[in-house]
Each structure stands twice: as C-alpha cells, then as structure tokens.
Structure 1
Amino acid sequence: MPFAQSFPSYGKTVLNVYKKLITNPLFLIGLVIRLALVAIVVPASVGQWYVPFLGNSVQVLSVDPWQTWLSSGGTPVAFPYGYAMWLFFLPLMALCKLTGISFVYGYGITLIAADFGLLILLKNLLKTKNWILLSIYWLSPISLIASYCLGFNDIAPVFLLFSAIYLLQQQKLLLAGLILIAAISAKLSMLISLPFFLIYLFHNRSLRQILAQFIYGLLAGLAIFFLPFLSSAAGISMLVSNPEMEKIYQISVSLVHNTFIYLVPLAYLLMLYAAWRVKRMNFELFNAILGMAFLLVVLLTPASPGWFIWILPLLVAYQISSDRAAIYLTAIFTTLYVLGALLFISQTSANSELFSAWGALGGMQFLNSARISSLIHTALVAVGIVLAIRIWRETISRNDYFRLSRKPFVIGIAGDSGAGKDTFANAIAELFGNHSVASISGDDYHLWDRQQPMWQVMTHINPAANDLESFAKNLVALTDGKSIQASHYDHDTGKMSRPFTVRSNNLIIASGLHALYLPILRECYDLSIYLDIDEDLRTFFKVQRDVGKRGYTIERVLESLAKRKPDSDKFIKPQTAFADLVMSLRPIHPSALGAANETNPPRLKLVIKSRHGFNELTLKRVLVGVCGLHVDMVTKIDASEVELSIEGEASSEDVELAAQLVCPQIFEFLDLKPKWQNGVLGLMQLITLSHINQALTRRFI
C-alpha cells in the first residue's frame, strides 16, 4: 500500500488509541483532581518564588530574567533553573498576562501539560493497558502531592528527560541529545543521566555507528541552552546558591584530617561502573539501570518530595513488568511517601486552606515528633532498598543482554566441504552486523600450505591435518571475552596470511569441517548447527565454487571429492549427532540438477531437524500463512526431535515479517539495518534466529 494511502489509516489508529486513553474514567478523575488542586492549593514555593519570578519575567521582558528579578529586589532562591525551565513555563505565563488570568493558573496548567506529556511517553514506552497505566501513574499520590500540593516543578525536567529517552528508542539521536541538554538545563540534577546515555550508545554496537548524531545534538543543546546562560551572572549565582545542591554531601563518613567519603557520589560512581561493566546493553537494560541510579540518589539523600518524581517512571515500569508483590511494595512505599510529604508540609508551613485544615485536626502535631518522622523516613528507605534489590534481580540480572555481558552467544557450524558453511555464516553475521560478530573458520587451522607434500597422503577432512587444539583454544578464549591471534587461509594462493587480532564480540560464529568434532568445542556452543546437503547437490555447488571462484578444473574437483569421501563418512557426517539443529538442502526433484547452472539455480527444499526447539508449531503456521510455503512436520513420539520439510520460495520481506512474528525479542540484538536473504538462505536465517531466541530463553532455566 502506498504511503499516502496508509498514512491516514495509521493516523486514525493513533488517534483512536489516545482517544481511548483520555476518555477513560480514570484519566478524567485524575484530570479533575489536578485542576481542583491547581485552583485551590497555592503552595508557599509557588506563591512566593516561582510564580512571582515567572510573572516578573513576562511583565518585564528580558533575555536575562534572573538579572531582572534580582534588580527588582527578588530573592536569589526563587528560580535556580536554566533557560529550558524558563522557556517551558513562558508560553502560558504570557497567555495569562494577555488574558488577565492569575499567573498561578498558568503555572499549574503547565505542570498538568508536562504530566500529561509524560503519561503519553510512558504509554508509548511501556505498551500496557490504559487502566493499568492510569491507575499506577496518573492517579499516583507521588505525582499529585509533589506537583500540585507542594508545587514542585520536577515533572517538567522529567518530561524532557523521558522525551530524550523516547527519541533514543526511536533512534533519533540528534533530537535525543538536544532534548537531554534541555532537561539538564531545566534541572541540573538531570545531569545524572548523561553518562548512562553515553555508556548505552557506546556499548550498543549497532547504535555506536550513529553515536556522532547524539554528540551533535548535545553540542547544539549546549549552544542553545547553556552558552546564553553562562553570560548571566545572576542566573549562575542563583543556580550555585541553590540549597538543594548541598544535599548530596550531607550523608558522609568522616575520615582523618577533615576528609569525608560522600555516600551519594560514591553510590552513583559505583552505579556508573556497574553500567560500564555491562558490555552489551539494550534499551530495556539502559532504562532499568538509569532508573536505579536515580533511585539510589533519592534514597541516599535527604531528598525533597519533588525528587521522588524522578523515580516514578521506574516504579511504574517495574509494577507493569513484575508481580503483585511489586504492586504491594510500591503501595507501601507510596504510603510512606505521603506521610513524609505531610511532615514536609508541617515543617515548611505551606500556606493553603487545605493544609491549615489538616493542621487543625492535629495531624501535624503527631507527625512533628522527631522519632515518628525518623521512623517514617527509615521505613521509606528500607522499602526503597527492597524495591531496588528486586528491580536489580528481576529487571537487570535476568535481562538477556546483561547475561550476554558475562558470556557471548556462541554458534558452531559444521558440515562437509561445499555444504555452504561460509555462505551461511556470512548470512547470519549480516543480520547482527559485522561490528557485533567475531568469526573463526576451521579452514584457517590447516596445518600445511597447499604445496606441502603431506596433502598427497592426507586430506583436509582428516582431523589430524588440522590444528584443532589451537582452534579449540582460540574459541575458548573468545568465549571468555579475550582477543586471539589468528591467520587466514587464502584459497586462491593456498597459503596462510600473517597473524592478525580477532576480538571477542556479542556473537561468536565458529564454522568448519570439525566445528563439532571435539567435546570441548561442543561445550562452548549455545547453538550447534550441522549443514547437511544432498551429495549430487553438493557436487553441483562445489564444482560451481571451485571452478568459478578458485580456478580448479572440473576433473580436479571430482577427484578431490572421491578422495575425501571415506574421511567424510568417518569424521564429518557423525557430527550430526551432536547438533541442536540439522539443516539439509535437497533438490525438489533429482532431475532438477540436470538443467541447472549459475544463472538458473536448481529449485531446492529445506529439511530441518531440531532437537531442542519448542515453537515449531508457530514456525510452521508463519511459514505457511506469511511466506506461502508448503511445510510438512513430523515429531517423534517423545518429542525429542522435530522435522520440518519446507518447499517454496520466500522473499526477504516475507522472511523479515515471519521473524517479527516468531521471535520479535531477537530484533533488539540485530543490526540497525539487518540484511535479509531471499529463498532458502533467508529461511535458514529465520530458523536460526528462532533457535537463538530459544537458546537465550533456556538460560532462564
């Protein structure tokens, strides 16, 4: 369908999704509560600092509103934020001036707009049901109390931060960098997130290719939001004098000679190190680790109630992805937060009729007890630590990428000469991207050059003619995350190249005649594959390759095949018994090879034998329904082996769509633009990805 025709349909679908969200009764209840609080409650910070500063900035327009404020006799603590925060509130403040409406309403409606924006971002990021998201976020007491009862504006920088995170997920890195700097300009504390963005982009090898776009976005953001701010001495003075900046130093361990260990910076640096140690990071893992960093800062700091908005998205995501215990723990955490917020209200003497009524009932006198307030905060931190431990265990340590940071995923590909091992290995590498793949080939471990006389009495098929000990040693080293020195066997010259370095990577592909021959090799593989091939078809392909690409004569190729057959039967074919997955290529009919040539390849069918699969039924349905193929399936009585026989032609587009249906999770591991193949090779890509996904799932067991 042309884009012009499909776009209205897509736009209508999106509008329907958001229409269902905003017409949900829970959304309307939350909106009414927010509007009522904006109309009724005027916290001291809003009435004394934020609104007067913002009102003054629109009454006396200036590119340096901080200097204008101080010149009019305003307090230095009124607005310790950068240009992004000022610009965020400016439009509605200007509208209030034009219409004569109180600036308080402009301030409150701006908070609601940021709140709603964050709701939409969470809807797009978390993909959950409307009523769940509305219940645990839109109606969360943390957001309602911090933003509308106490007047804190942390929702604005958090909205900007998650806008950057969403743009990062969409791979719009230029805008992500720009908006991230805007978030930092709005509230300097958002600087906590910047190193995690950089670590994620650097350790995600696919995204590292476009890391420069993110850097350009950061530089543009610095030029727009920070360079003008640096010219405002009043703005810098107000930012530096902000008392909240000293909170991170309040928890410390005293050493000798007035030396202290500050626990909050220490915990943050350790979290950065933990993130750096995760060498393979996906978006889910990045989100969880970033949320954990904010959670630790909030828990270890005598944080103001507004800071808890920083961790609200993490708590929402955790409740959606976990069990009822997560909901109960978060509810307890929220209840303790509410009690702590009421204590904060009593201590700061917030001015509103609502809070005065609470005080008249005697609630503040109870909470003003030093021991009670300390117990509340202790319980809050205790529950927060329990949440942190559970989030780390469930969201981070069980993440596939986190486990890959300790051990790469290793694929072993064995098969006879001419079975297509190199072609198949290259097709798999093109899905993940060469930047994420390390490959070693058994051909590179022949003991002698082609000219050596030993080849007159021994074939390449014989394990004794290959340095399998070095092959195994190097594979173990790569699996252990170490680099190796290897040489390449040049089939054109018959000689070995000079040694070069092969570095370990996310995916390691070991292919060769004897890739499954030694037990130590088989133990390295997460997925072992044997490529089988019909003998006549193998002869056809080997003649094509060796005559067309390697310059051999047909007679020499046929003589070599006959000479190698005894060794092949003895050393190569028995390796099928050790393969998780056997892929057999066969002509649809024996007569199909008679008229085949390089420009008119034979029609083939693919026979798959899987010993450790569990989604072959889904695979069969997709191959038939999406790719239009003919598929026969036979399962052993004990379900120890499943055989699929696949006939037909599949396009690369069909293969990609089938992969999205069979194993959508695996796409996080693929390159930005994976190269899908047509025909049988594309089906082999699909089936391999399905089994990689299954092998990753087995790591949970």
Structure 2
Amino acid sequence: MKKTVLNPLFLLGLAIRILLVWAVLPAPVSNWYVPFLDASTSQLSLDPWGVWLAGGGTPAAFPYGYVMWLVFLPFTLVCKLLGMPLAFGYGATLIAADFGLMLLLQRLLNASERLLLAIYWLSPIVIVASYVFGFNDLVPVLLLTLSLYFVRRARLSWAGATAVAAISAKLSMVIALPFFLIYLLHNRALRQHLRFFAKGLAAGAVLVLLPFLFSGAGVAMLFTNPEMGKVYRLAFNLDGGSLIYLVPFVYLLMLYAAWRIRRLNFELFTAMMGIAFLLVVLLTPASPGWFIWVLPLLVAYQASTDRIGIVLTTGFSVLYVFSSLLLNHGVLPQVDGWNGGADALPGLLLVSSLVHTAMVATGVVLAVRIWRETVSHNDYFRLSRKPFVIGVAGDSGAGKDTFSDAIKGLFGGHSVTTLSGDDYHLWDRQKPMWQVMTHLNPMANDLEGFANDLVTLTDGKPINARHYNHTTGRMSRPFVTHSNDFIIASGLHALYLPILRQCYNLSVYLDIDESLRRHFKIERDVNKRGHTLEKVLTSFERREPDSARFIRPQASHADLVLSLQPIHPRMLDTMKGKSELRFKLVVRSRHGLNELSLTRVLVGICGLHVDMQVSADGYEVELAIEGETSAQDIEMAARMISPRIFEFLDLQPEWKDGVMGLMQLVTLSHINQALTKRFIW
C-alpha cells in the first residue's frame, strides 16, 4: 500500500478529488444529502428518515437504507464537532470508499499497479459521477465488490452479509443477487457451502433490512424515489395496450444465459453480472452515478484485453463525461449566460442526444466484446457445452479404480461421474458361462451398452446404470447416473472399441509390472473380496491368453501410459512382507507432456531422479521417475506446471503421496494440454 500511495498517479488522482470536494458543491449534496445528514446527527434516532420528514424535508433527499446512513455518519459527526462544513465529511467518505474499492480491485485482478491507477483511480466516470455530481454510488459498489472478494476467498457467510449490506446501501444492487445464487448453484465445488451464504444473507437481513422495514418514513422515501421508475421508460407498445419493458426483458435474458451455463467459474460469474449491469445502465435514462456500477467490469476488462479494448473503454468514459455534463448541466454551478435551460445554447439538446447515442453505441460494442473475450472464450464456458472425458484401461489388478479415485479426489466427487466397465459384465458370477469364458473376453461384456452410455453421458444426458457387486457377484437394480463436468470411464476394455476411443479427451493405460500386478491382485481379491488364494492363482492362468489378446494391445491406443515397476526386479522375492514396497514410475506419452518443465520441477521441487528418452521422430517421450515425494510437493509442482488447471479443481483437492501423487501430477499436465487442444480445435 505504501508504494501505491506514493505513486505520482495516485497523488494526482487524490489531489483532483480533494480539489473537487473543496471547490464544487453539487446540487444533490447541498440540497439533499448534507441537510439530511445534518438533521439526522442533530437529533440522533434509529429512524433518521422519520426525523427528516417530520422536519419538513423532501422525500427525495435520502432514499437509502441503514448501511448508507451509517457509512456517512462518522465523517459527518467529526465535521460537526470540528465546526467544518458537512460537505467535507461527505466528500471524505466518498474518497475513503473510492480508495477502498481500488484496493479491492487490486486484490481481485491480476493487473499492474500502474495500470490500475490509470484505468480506475484516474477514471473520468469515478471523478465526474462522485465528485462533480456528488452521487454516492461508490458505497454500494464497494460493498458489492467486497462481497465478490469474499466469494473468491470462499468465505460465503461474509459474502452473503456484505451482499445484503450493498442492497441496504442502494436497493438497485438487488439485481446482483440472482447471479450470486446461480454461481453458487452451478459451481459444484461451492454448492455444498451454499448454506453459509444463505446464513450470511439471513443475518444481514435481520440486522439492516428488517429494522428498515419498521420505518414507514424510510420505506416511503425509498419507494417514492423517481429513480426506480426509470427502468420502465423504454418499452414497446403492443396491440391491446400491453407493454414490453425492455430493461427487465434484457435482464431476464442475461439471467437465463447465466443459468444455461452448466458450471460457472468466478471470471464467468463476474462477467455475466457485469454485462447485466452494463446493459441495464445503457438502456435506462440513468443517473450519472449509476455508471459507477459497471466500473469493476470495465476495469477487469481493461486489465485483460488488448489495446483496442482499452481504447474503446477510454472512449466510452470520455463520451460519458460529455453526455453527463450536457444532459445534467443543471446540476453544475451556474455559468454566466447559461441559465440551465434546454434552450440556453442553440442545439444543446440535439448535441447532447447525439453524444449520448454515441456513448450507448460504444457501450453496446463493449458488451459484445466482453461477451466474446471473457465469456465465450472462457474455458469453463466451453467446458459447459461438453464434459471432459477420461478413459482408463488396464489389466485386472492394475489399479484402475485406485487411479480413478485419485483423479476424482482432485476434481471432487461433485464434479466427476465414473463409469466402470465391471458394471457391464453380461452375467452374474454364478452363471455357467464363466466356466468357458473370462471377464477379459470382450464377448463377456456389454461393450456396446458401455459405449452407448458413455456417449449419452458425454451428451450431457443421464443414464440408467447398474453396479456389479464384487462381493456377491451380482448386479444391483438400475439407478440413474447423471452427466457431469468430468467423466472417468474405466475398465478392462475402456480403449477396445474405436467409438470408445473417439469419446475420450484423454486416454490412459495402466501398464503395471506383471509381478506387481499379481501381488496387488492377490492382496485385493483375497483380503478384500474374499476369494481363496488357489482360485486367484488359477484365474491368472486362465486369463493370461485373453490378457495378451484383448487387454495389453489397448496400450497402443492410449495418449498416456503409466507403468508402475519395482525398483529392483527381484524386490518382491526378497522383501517377504518385512518392508514397504518401493516403486518407480515409467511414463510414456505420445502427445507431449511438458517433459522439460516437468523434469525440472520433479528434480528441483520434489527431489526425484528422472531419466528422459525421446523417440527419433520426437513423437513419444518416456520418463523414468524414482524417489519419494510428498503430497505438498506434488501440489507445488502442479501449480508450477499447470496453474490454470487449479480453477477446475475442488476447493480442497486430495493430493496423494508417492507414486500415486506422481500419477496425479502427470495426468493433470495431460488434462491441461488436452483442454487446450480441445478449445483450439
């Protein structure tokens, strides 16, 4: 903060604000706000609106709730005690809110300090609306942005409370509330915490909204405010006298557009809400202060767009200044020869209308550009159209379920749907067909049903599925399985059919060392599934021909092959259960895996030994990774290699230690690249 306040741009903006507070006394401040604050502090009451109206004040003076009054109260009392003009206290409150909003935007946006000072602190919209015209919209916008900040930090109780505070400060902020609810409902990582947001809303409503309703004077001042009727000015008259109000119509369309996105991230949420605010302001004969509502959107857009976008936004701000000064010249101090009437200068009304038209046109162009650059190009927006599908194949006992659960733990069960090939066995275990055929034979499985269900889930539709119980050997009753953002399809034949392979955005084959596979399968089937050791050993001999014929060839179709191998070839013979198993992971990728950066991170961050080989044509890369690593190191490595993927992960991803953590890291790197490729194509 010290660096910011010493920046010449900040000092320039601060000097402009102080000068305007000292030299300009806008009509709303002198006629409404200051007299109301003066009356309410002279006779302190829990119903300042009643005190004002009882003294003969105008109902238009302060149509705001408790929060707005409480925000202006401290500086008003200080000025009163010091004998200073109360307008200075009003201006000081605006400057404090202005500075607070800038700091919040600095925390929310990935923008340089110099750029933020230029596009926000020196913004003509802020300076003209707040310090020339004296409007107080900075306060509710600050509170609404604070609520966004709490949402970003997943502190939803505080987010709900500050959202109510923003509504109390200015009722118009209620148009943001449906976007909050849609975001929390459509972001599955946050949906489970929606109750905290609701608690914050309820607590805020009890503290600041409910008491206001008991003030008949306050409610009357709020709902008789002429500003509320402006949203109904633009309408189409239908036959029979019915009207279609354009502003509510456009707002409802924006709500529907937000609802149609299957999953929203924070960027999408703020962009959709910001566009809705922008369109409401553009299509309404709005007060100049309303344009402050769209400042967070415009600042965020300028921080991420190109030079053309910055020029357009700057042009919009300049047109706003001229339009506001021309259309609201009566608010300014009187100038010799200009009496404030529409006919005071020749053609003033025509010129002001043309400038306002240009401003609205520029604003609509901005809305379209923001939609195209921020919404339609957003990874989440494109992911919402089609789930990301991962195929996992491997022999029996290769660890398909363990691997799938590890990936599911990163994205969260709320965002992942799993489809298991075991659930598509044609017969229960007791059927005699298993005497002549093994599970590894494609003919023993309903692969067409598996493929059809996967295609249906990929299309975003639910399926009727069954579950194979490995303990009883029987299928469960059908149940509904819904699609999700991520679908993991695992099984013995997950890469067997061409149509299955075409469904996957990423295909993985688990090629575990045969001695390890036998060891893990015996541990699982004997200790967890209740089979006898003799039966398990016999199954190895029966299944070997089918494994060689149907399962292992699927590795040639995988984008990523993960091979778990013992450190020493005869490790299982010498350990005799007295020491913990130690492995090395061999990774083979046919589509690149950021092998150079991955190797640097694995060596430098995780302290592992890595050998890398690249095929002659550069098409296949193989990494042999040895050593022990922690879940914390895996998370740190993932942030360095694939920082963008974290936006898709759960609020608290379940990182694994050791080899499984390495599998998570490598797979996330591939998912990140696969997402990029899918968006490019």
TM-score of Structure 1 vs Structure 2, range by shorter chain: over 0.9
| Root mean square deviation of aligned Cα | 1.7
**Aligned AA (2:477):** R
Matches within 5 A, 1:83-162: 83-162=66-145
Q: Is the 8 A contact 1:343 1:367 kept in 2?
A: no
Shift of 1:658: 1.3
**Unpaired segments ≥5 residues, structure 1:** 1-17
Show the counterpart of 1:374.
Answer: 353
Show the counterpart of 1:557.
Answer: 536
Question: Residue 630 in 1 paired to residue 630 in 2?
Answer: no
Matches within 5 A, 1:322-361: 322-346=305-329, 348-351=330-333, 356=335
Show the counterpart of 2:445.
Answer: 466
Alignment CA distance shift 1:363-1:141 (3 Å)? farther
Alignment CA distance shift 1:250-1:632 (3 Å)? same
Q: Is the 8 A contact 1:342 1:364 kept in 2?
A: no
Paired residues in the alignment total 680
Percent of residue pairs identical: 63
**SS of alignment partner, residue 700 of structure 1:** helix
Q: Is the 8 A contact 1:655 1:683 kept in 2?
A: yes
Q: Is the 8 A contact 1:544 1:598 kept in 2?
A: no
TM-score scaled by length of structure 2: 0.97
User: Using the alignment, how far apart are the partners of 1:573 and 1:367 within structure 2?
Assistant: 86
Show the counterpart of 1:528.
Answer: 507
Partner of residue 55 from structure 2, selected from 53, 62, 72: 72
Partner of residue 648 from structure 2, selected from 662, 669, 680: 669
Show the counterpart of 2:261.
Answer: 278
Matches within 5 A, 1:442-521: 442-521=421-500
Matches within 5 A, 1:567-586: 567-586=546-565
Show the counterpart of 2:19.
Answer: 36
Question: Residue 429 in 1 paired to residue 411 in 2?
Answer: no
User: Using the alignment, how far apart are the partners of 1:368 and 1:244 within structure 2?
Assistant: 27
User: Using the alignment, how far apart are the partners of 1:599 and 1:168 within structure 2?
Assistant: 50
Shift of 1:601: 3.5
User: Using the alignment, how far apart are the partners of 1:635 and 1:104 within structure 2?
Assistant: 73
**Aligned AA (1:99):** L
Question: Residue 236 in 1 paired to residue 199 in 2?
Answer: no
**Aligned AA (1:437):** V
User: Using the alignment, how far apart are the partners of 1:92 and 1:614 within structure 2?
Assistant: 59
User: Using the alignment, how far apart are the partners of 1:621 and 1:673 within structure 2?
Assistant: 26
User: Using the alignment, how far apart are the partners of 2:652 and 2:547 within structure 1?
Assistant: 38
Q: Is the 8 A contact 1:83 1:186 kept in 2?
A: yes
Question: Residue 314 in 1 paired to residue 314 in 2?
Answer: no
Deviations 1:199-232 (A, max 9, x none): 1011111111111110011011111111111111
Deviations 1:151-181 (A, max 9, x none): 0100110000000000111111111101100
Show the counterpart of 1:10.
Answer: none
User: Using the alignment, how far apart are the partners of 1:699 and 1:58 within structure 2?
Assistant: 62
Shift of 1:344: 2.7
Show the counterpart of 2:204.
Answer: 221
**Aligned AA (1:227):** L
- Greater Cα shift, 608-617 or 147-156: 608-617
Question: Residue 53 in 1 paired to residue 36 in 2?
Answer: yes
**SS of alignment partner, residue 529 of structure 1:** strand
User: Using the alignment, how far apart are the partners of 1:416 and 1:207 within structure 2?
Assistant: 36
**Aligned AA (1:565):** E
**Aligned AA (2:557):** F
**SS of alignment partner, residue 449 of structure 1:** coil
Deviations 1:242-275 (A, max 9, x none): 1110110000000123210000000000100011
- Greater Cα shift, 561-570 or 386-395: 561-570
Shift of 1:358: 10
**Unpaired segments ≥5 residues, structure 2:** none
**Aligned AA (2:297):** L
TM-score scaled by length of structure 1: 0.95
Q: Is the 8 A contact 2:327 2:352 kept in 1?
A: no
Deviations 1:326-385 (A, max 9, x none): 011111111111110111332x24226xxx379699999668523222211111111111
User: Using the alignment, how far apart are the partners of 1:167 and 1:349 within structure 2?
Assistant: 37
**SS of alignment partner, residue 632 of structure 1:** strand
User: Using the alignment, how far apart are the partners of 1:294 and 1:286 within structure 2?
Assistant: 12
User: Using the alignment, how far apart are the partners of 1:470 and 1:675 within structure 2?
Assistant: 32
Alignment CA distance shift 1:551-1:278 (3 Å)? same
Deviations 1:105-125 (A, max 9, x none): 000010000100000000000
Show the counterpart of 1:678.
Answer: 657
Partner of residue 305 from structure 1, selected from 276, 283, 288: 288
